């Protein structure tokens, strides 16, 4: 809301009154709220502070979804929160947050915040630029306006179990509409990551991005290039490991946002092998979504392997043409491509090293007729590499024969395995070089396997 200035230059923020939804007017029951979050809310409230659930948890409960976590907003200062809870740690510097820890669950408690980043100072300064008030902490009706979307700006008040809605968030939830607070262009310029958040929430909640929130994205998406790569890594995990990775990918591509995260992959998607790259990626993401739905572990190393596979291959061809040996050509290609990608998304080395192993195992999996093939199954990355080989086959690379052989091998008992190894080696087939077959829907090409990575 626009602040109003008095003749002496002091600033009085003007806020509309919130719409209050009493307990009988909304479906959120305390039974759906984590016991630990309730403990925090009640104790703050008993000590005389305001205490409200805020953000994703209120939104998800209104939608009938299970919240990922429960965040609390309060007028207690961080030090006051710490005095109330033994199991509490303060984090952050300028804006300190309290983390109250209960076994594996952390309840994040944030003191109401005043101005949102970037806007700070006009509102808080006199004409001479003197700071009139501390613009870090504020009241509930300050806190609401620095949030991103209306649906993320709802509060559940433990004092009377009502929902406090300053922004029309409840109506937007009912209409399944994603709407930024304030002027969209200003809000994206303040924090370009909000463009990625728009794509993520629209996908995950199956909401429509309202036109004024959508419109500036095409003009402003390049601002994402200046975001710290470490922050983009966090966002990438939320986008691709949040359970709807494939839909998020498609949404990002549709709005030209994917390019800002993965420029090499984006280029490959628009290149001669685009259809293949798209098949490989969408199956990798489907695979990830299924694993998450089944509660199985996932690693960003696998996703990186799929995202960058074509780029490594293209770079390998360039290196070969420049006269490098096949082994060097592939290794240098992997170095180049990974270092370009981590300049954009800071994937930690413990993951990129696994990505390299998955790639390095691909040509070894092609040599399944060797008597030593069974030993590969003991490699710590065998399973990931085998899964990757299946993806490549499904996407149309000429590696189906090897993929089938390994599948049969893995499904056989010991005697069956011995027989498979025996018959493969007596056939004398050298599967090292796959026959050049046309890829389904793609042109034939030399593969990184040929180079013997």
Binding site for Mg ion (CB under 5 A): 56
The burial class, CB within 10 Å (0-12 / 13-18 / 19+), for 133 is: middle
Supply the minimum distance, in Å, between the C-beta of residue 248 and Mg ion.
Answer: 16
Distance CA 235, CA 245 (A): 12
Rounded to 5 degrees, φ, ψ at 34 are -60, 140
Taking the least distance from each CB to ligand ATP, the nearer of 55 and 396 is: 55
Quick one: 55 or 184, whose CB is closer to ligand ATP?
A: 55
The residue number whose beta carbon is nearest to Mg ion equals 56
Q: Which is nearer to ligand ATP, 173 or 424 (CB)?
A: 173
Q: Indicate the residue among 56 and 184 with the shorter CB distance to Mg ion.
A: 56
Give which of Mg ion, ligand ATP, none residue 148 binds (C-beta under 5 to 8 Å, depending on kind): ligand ATP
**Least distance in Å: CB of 437 to ligand ATP?**
43
Burial grade of 165 (CB within 10 A; 0-12, 13-18, 19 or more): buried
Show which residues are catalytic: 69, 71, 148
Which chain residues interact with ligand ATP by CB under 6 A? 55-56, 68, 71, 147-148, 152-153, 191, 193-194
Give a three-class secondary structure readout of the chain: CCEEECCCCCEEECCCCCEEECHHHCCCCHHHCCHHHHHHHHHHHHCCCCEEEECHHHHHHHCCCCCCCCEEEECCCHHHHHHHCCCEEEECCCCCEEEEEECCEEEEEEECECCCCCCHHHHHECCCCCECCCCCECCHHHHHHHCCEHHHCCEEECCCCEEEECCCHHHHHHCCEECECCCHHHHHHHCCHHHHHHHHHHHHHCCEECHHHHCCHHHHHHHHHHCCHHHHHHHHHHHHCCCCHHHHHHHHHHCCCHHHHCHHHHHHHHCCCHHHHHHHHHHHHHHHHHHHHCCCCCCHHHHHHHHHHHHHHHHHHHHHHCCCCHHHHHHHHHHHHHHHHHCCCCCCHHHHHHHHHHHHHHHHHHCCCCCCHHHHHHCCCHHHHHHHHHHHHHCCCCCHHHHHHHHHHHHCCHHHHHHHHHHHHHHCCCCCCCCCCCCCCCCCCCCCCCCCC
Find which of Mg ion, ligand ATP, none residue 78 binds, CB within 5 to 8 Å per kind. Answer: none
**For ligand ATP, which residue has the nearest CB?**
56
Structure tokens at 21: 């939804």
- Least distance (Å) from ligand ATP to the CB of residue 73? 9
Q: Residue 347 CB, nearest distance to ligand ATP (Å)? A: 20
Tell me how far, at minimum, the Cβ of 153 lies from ligand ATP, in Å. 6
* Partner touching 191 among Mg ion, ligand ATP, none, CB below 5 to 8 Å by kind: ligand ATP
CA dist., res. 386 & res. 406, Å (int): 8
State the minimum distance, in angstroms, from the CB of residue 57 to ligand ATP: 7
Query: Partners of 4 in the beta sheet?
Result: 12
Least distance to ligand ATP, CB of residue 63, Å = 11
- Considering beta carbons, is residue 225 or 430 the nearer one to ligand ATP? 225
**Is the distance from CB of 15 to CB of 138 less than 8 angstroms?**
no
Between CA 314 and CA 47 the distance in angstroms is: 63
> By C-alpha distance, which of 181, 160, 155 is closest to 71?
155
56 vs 216 by CB, closer to Mg ion: 56
Nearer Cβ to ligand ATP (72/305): 72
Q: Which CB sits closer to ligand ATP, 108 or 397?
A: 108
Least distance in angstroms from the C-beta of 148 to ligand ATP = 4
């Amino acid at each position: 809301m626009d602040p109003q200035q008095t003749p002496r230059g002091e600033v009085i923020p003007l806020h509309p009154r919130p719409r209050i939804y009493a307990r009988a007017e909304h479906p959120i029951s305390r039974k759906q709220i984590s016991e630990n979050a309730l403990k925090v809310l009640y104790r703050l409230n008993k000590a005389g502070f305001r205490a409200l659930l805020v953000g994703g948890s209120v939104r998800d409960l209104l939608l009938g979804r299970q919240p990922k976590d429960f965040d609390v907003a309060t007028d207690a200062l961080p030090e006051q929160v710490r005095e109330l809870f033994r199991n509490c740690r303060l984090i952050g510097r300028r804006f300190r947050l309290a983390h109250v820890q209960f076994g594996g669950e952390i309840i994040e408690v944030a003191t109401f915040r005043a101005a949102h980043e970037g806007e700070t100072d006009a509102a808080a300064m006199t004409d001479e630029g003197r700071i009139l008030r501390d613009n870090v902490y504020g009241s509930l009706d300050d806190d609401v306006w620095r949030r991103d979307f209306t649906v993320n700006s709802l509060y559940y008040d433990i004092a009377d179990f009502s929902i406090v809605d300053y922004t029309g968030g409840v109506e937007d939830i009912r209409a399944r509409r994603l709407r930024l607070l304030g002027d969209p262009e200003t809000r994206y310029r303040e924090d370009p990551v909000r463009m990625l958040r728009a794509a993520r929430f629209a996908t995950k909640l199956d909401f429509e991005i309202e036109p004024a929130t959508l419109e500036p994205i095409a003009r402003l998406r390049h601002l994402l290039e200046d975001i710290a790569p470490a922050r983009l890594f966090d966002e990438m995990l939320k986008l691709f490991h949040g359970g709807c990775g494939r839909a998020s990918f498609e949404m990002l591509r549709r709005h030209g946002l994917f390019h800002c995260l993965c420029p090499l992959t984006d280029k490959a998607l628009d290149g001669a092998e685009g259809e293949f790259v798209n098949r490989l990626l969408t199956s990798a993401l489907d695979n990830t979504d299924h694993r998450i739905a089944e509660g199985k572990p996932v690693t960003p190393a696998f996703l990186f392997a799929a995202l960058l596979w074509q780029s490594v291959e293209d770079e390998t061809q360039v290196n070969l043409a420049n006269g490098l040996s096949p082994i060097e050509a592939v290794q240098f290609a992997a170095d180049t491509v990974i270092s370009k990608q981590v300049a954009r998304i800071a994937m930690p080395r413990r993951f990129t090293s696994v990505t390299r192993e998955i790639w390095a195992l691909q040509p070894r999996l092609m040599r399944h007729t060797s008597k030593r093939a069974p030993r590969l199954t003991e490699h710590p990355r065998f399973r990931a590499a085998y899964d990757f080989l299946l993806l490549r086959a499904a996407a149309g690379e000429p590696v189906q024969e090897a993929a089938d052989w390994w599948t049969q091998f893995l499904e056989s008992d010991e005697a069956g395995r011995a027989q498979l190894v025996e018959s493969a080696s007596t056939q004398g087939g050298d599967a090292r070089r796959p026959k050049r077959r046309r890829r389904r829907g793609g042109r034939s090409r030399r593969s990184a396997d040929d180079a013997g990575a």
